[in-house]
Chain A
Amino acid sequence: MGLAVAAPPMQLSREDFLSTKLSALMELIHKGAGWSRKYSLWPMPFATACCGIELMATGASRYDIGRFGAEAMRFTPRQCDLLICAGRVAIKMMPVLQRMYMQMAEPKWVISMGACASTGGVFDTYAVVQGIDQFLPVDVYVPGCPPRPETLLEGVMAIQRIVEAGGARNSTDRGRGLRMVAQPTVKINVSKDS
């Protein structure tokens, strides 16, 4: 944000300038960026189980996630801004998922798709993560086992609403930064503006 460090005019103090003119301009930029971003989400499919089949169906012609501007699935996190975690995640795989999340460019959003990704589902065993939100900041949970494509599209639309509201703010500013906790019982702190 080069505008934020520009020298303020002499008649206004820096605080006054930031609180009035610049913030109004930034709001406008956020609004415009949010509006344009919500129709150009690039999902990163992280499909580990049967939810991945529904995710593929959502991308195929009958349900066509391209109607929501999110058809550009890329298999590298560097080109993506929406992580769709579809399926159970083993503890051994969690560092991979965390690293992929960290490699994604800001601003970025996360969908936890299905019962397993959200809660561990029926896999209440020693090796399965009981909900990826213990380790990743999740924006939208999509329920179902597996969710139908309509449900996932509803989740994408929920992400679009978040994108429109959040604008160009990155995930840390939205209170959804990478605040990972060691104990699954500890909740991730979310600031009040998110």
Chain B
Amino acid sequence: MSSNIQPVLDALKTKFPDITFDPKPLIAQKNPALEQIFVRVPPDRLIEVMQFLRRDPRCSFEQLSDLTCVDYLNFPDAADRYGVTYSLLSLSLGHRLWIKCYVNDPSPTVPTATCIWKGANWLEREVYDMFGVTFTDHPDLRRILTWDGFTANPLRKDYPLRGQGERENYDIVTRESA
């Protein structure tokens, strides 16, 4: 485990004793100092924890460097389906932390992080587009990559590569309508 992330984990444990963070390395490395740590946060406590991570001087994660999602359908030993993943970077203290927030069907919902990091806006729209995870209180939750009228969520594991007839049933611009 990287040594400079330990104060952050200690701070989290003291501040939120009721949450099981369960810190683990994101990818196991030969050199433990190179490992990056992820913690689990339940969706109903997410904003609380994120605000603490942003504001506390021991954490001070100024940057949300990425926000994505993983579909754990048919993944070995996976208990939940969607893992909304946040990559946090502290520019002043030079440490990184990954947050995973697990949600499930039928209506996977996560509170928006745009109130803390404005840059989360388009990233959350991408996750909404590709995985169908809804972000509550998002200022502009629309599809960002696929076109108008598209209804599926292509990065879900049960979505076929060639689509469900979207490219076949495509709206045509004709000479009259142009």
Contact = CB atoms under 8 A, between A and B. Distances in A.
Nearest to A184: B168
A95 interface: yes
A9 B93 CA distance: 93
Interface stretch (B4-12, B24-32, B98-106, B159-167): B159-167
Interface residues of B, number: 21
A126 B178 contact: no
- Chain A contact surface mostly: loop
A127 B173 contact: no
A180 B174 contact: yes
B28 to A, nearest CB: 32
Contacts of A188: none
B146 interface: yes
A124 B162 CA distance: 6
A125 B160 CA distance: 9
B175 A126 contact: no
Given A102-B175, A178-B175, A126 B170 contact: no
30 contacts: A91-B147, A91-B166, A92-B146, A98-B178, A99-B173, A102-B178, A124-B161, A125-B161, A125-B162, A125-B163, A126-B152, A126-B154, A126-B160, A126-B163, A126-B164, A126-B167, A127-B154, A127-B166, A127-B167, A178-B174, A178-B175, A180-B172, A180-B173, A180-B174, A182-B170, A182-B172, A183-B168, A184-B167, A184-B168, A185-B168
By Cβ-Cβ distance, the 3 closest A-B pairs, closest first, are A126-B163, A92-B147, A98-B173
